[in-house]
């Protein structure tokens, strides 16, 4: 990437599956996003500073996505980061509970790269609209 290339936004992706991480990073990178992908649930808050969006798996070993979300929200508050937090799932029950769990939104159809890019594009349009209204 050259300095003249403008990325659409910066995204942090947290998932315990390396194949999923690689797929997401490839799809969103090709769509023009700067993507930081990690399987580490602890210490991920350091990536929030310039992050616009966090995509988080829920079903992970050790800490589940809800616990990771709480930790990230605390880190975001202490650093004044303004990232939106989205659950990434193909589980319809989790999809229905995303607000109750504390997520700003949900990306469903996990594993479908085209759907993910479309959903992320839509999320960024919402973020920009909200910023213009403030």
What are 78-107's pLDDT values in tens digits? 887 788 999 999 999 999 999 999 999 999
**Per-chain mean pLDDT for the chain:** 87
pLDDT over threshold 70, residue 67: yes
Q: Map out the domains of the chain as residue ranges.
A: 10-133
Q: Note the pLDDT of residue 5.
A: 52
Report the alpha-carbon distance of residue 115 to residue 109 in Å, rounded.
7
What are 35-58's pLDDT values in tens digits? 999 988 777 777 788 889 999 999
pLDDT over threshold 80, residue 4: no
**Per CATH, domain 10-133 is 3.40.50.2300:** yes
Assign 86 to helix, strand or coil.
Answer: strand
pLDDT over threshold 70, residue 134: no
Q: Note the pLDDT of residue 75.
A: 86
- Measured CA distances, 114 to 4, 68, 133 (Å): 26, 26, 29
Q: Are strands 105-107 and 84-88 parallel, antiparallel or unpaired?
A: parallel
For residue 32, how far is the Cα from the chain centroid? 15
| Residue with more model confidence, 119 or 66 | 119
Sign of the C-alpha dihedral computed for residues 37, 124, 27 and 115 taken in this order: positive
| Residue with more model confidence, 44 or 16 | 16
């Amino acid at each position: 990437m050259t300095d003249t290339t403008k990325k659409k936004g910066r995204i942090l992706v947290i998932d315990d599956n390396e194949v999923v991480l690689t797929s997401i990073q490839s799809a969103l990178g090709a769509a023009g996003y700067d993507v930081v992908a990690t399987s580490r649930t602890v210490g991920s808050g350091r990536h929030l500073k310039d992050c616009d969006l966090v995509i988080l798996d829920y079903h992970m070993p050790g800490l589940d996505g809800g616990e990771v979300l709480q930790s990230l929200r605390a880190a975001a508050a202490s650093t004044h980061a303004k990232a939106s937090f989205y659950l990434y799932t193909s589980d319809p029950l989790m999809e229905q509970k995303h607000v109750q769990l504390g997520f700003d939104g949900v990306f469903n159809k996990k594993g479908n790269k085209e759907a993910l890019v479309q959903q992320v594009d839509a999320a960024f349009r919402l973020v920009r609209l909200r910023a213009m209204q403030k």
